[in-house]
Every structure is written in structure tokens, then in C-alpha cells.
């Protein structure tokens, strides 16, 4: 399974003013911010220039979307932007898609809140 790349994490920490603690295990979860998800999507479109950067930033976007989904019903246009990226770059993001799809179980209680969205991809 592919993981966020250190150089890309460093770039986005600076670019997005994210504060990473050296003891963090999962940057994409700990830096996720539901209130900044559209900013992260825009950054993906304008500043993620390599596969490592796109993969890393998508991890942050999905972590943020999961938080966002927990706060309120997602705006269709927010999900549509994410869905479009995942669909058009599905090979690059196949690990994200597989992980959040929870294909090993059909029990919805064992899914992530965003699993139904990701499965639709």
C-alpha cells in the first residue's frame, strides 16, 4: 500500500500552514480539517504537480472529507469535485479507493462514514 510521501508532506505543511507534530502517526488524519476541505481541493488542482504530491494531498482531502461528513451532510459539489479527481485519476488513487471502500466487509457499521461515497467511484 502506498503512503503519503515525506517531501510532499513538507511542501503542503508550508503551503497550507499545517502544523505537524514529530510524534504524529498519520499526517493525513491528524492534519485533516473539515472546514478547509475546499481549500485543500483547490490546492490539489493548482499546486500538486507530481504523483507523490497528488497522492499525499488526496489523503488529506479524504481525511478531511471524512471529518466533514461527520459534521454535516456533504455539499454535493464538494463530493463531486473529489469524485471527479478519484475517477479520472483512479490508478493513482487506487489505494485510497480500496482502503475507504472497505471491500472486506458488507456490514455498514464497520465502514468509514465516507465508504458509500467511495464505493460509488
What is the number of structural domains in the chain? 1
Q: What is the mean pLDDT of residues 23-52?
A: 94
48 occurs within a structural domain: yes
Tell me: the pLDDT tens digits for 75-116? 789 999 999 999 999 999 999 999 999 999 999 999 998 999
36 occurs within a structural domain: yes
Q: Is pLDDT at 73 greater than 80 in this prediction?
A: no
51 occurs within a structural domain: yes
17 occurs within a structural domain: yes
What is the reported pTM?
0.93
Q: What is the mean pLDDT of residues 48-67?
A: 96
pLDDT the model gives residue 71: 65
1 occurs within a structural domain: no
18 occurs within a structural domain: yes
Name the CA radius of gyration of the chain, rounded: 14
Q: Which three cell numbers stand for residue 34?
A: 473539515
Q: Is pLDDT at 70 greater than 80 in this prediction?
A: no
Domain membership of residue 57 as a residue range: 6-119
pLDDT tier for residue 45 given thresholds of 50, 70 and 90:
very high
65 occurs within a structural domain: yes
Mean pLDDT over each residue of the chain, to the nearest integer: 93
Highest mean pLDDT among 19-28, 47-56, 66-75: 47-56
89 occurs within a structural domain: yes
| Helix, strand, coil percent content, the chain, rounded in steps of 5 | 65, 0, 35
Amino acid at each position: 500500500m502506498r503512503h503519503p510521501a515525506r517531501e510532499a508532506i513538507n511542501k503542503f505543511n508550508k503551503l497550507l500552514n499545517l502544523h505537524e507534530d514529530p510524534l504524529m502517526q498519520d499526517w493525513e488524519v491528524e492534519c485533516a480539517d473539515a472546514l478547509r476541505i475546499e481549500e485543500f481541493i483547490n490546492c490539489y488542482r493548482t499546486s500538486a504537480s507530481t504523483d507523490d504530491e497528488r497522492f499525499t494531498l488526496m489523503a488529506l482531502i479524504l481525511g478531511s472529507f471524512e471529518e466533514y461528513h461527520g459534521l454535516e451532510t456533504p455539499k454535493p459539489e464538494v463530493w463531486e469535485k473529489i469524485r471527479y479527481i478519484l475517477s479520472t485519476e483512479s490508478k493513482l488513487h487506487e489505494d485510497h479507493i480500496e482502503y475507504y471502500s472497505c471491500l472486506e466487509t458488507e456490514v455498514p457499521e464497520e465502514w468509514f462514514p465516507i465508504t458509500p461515497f467511495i464505493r460509488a467511484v
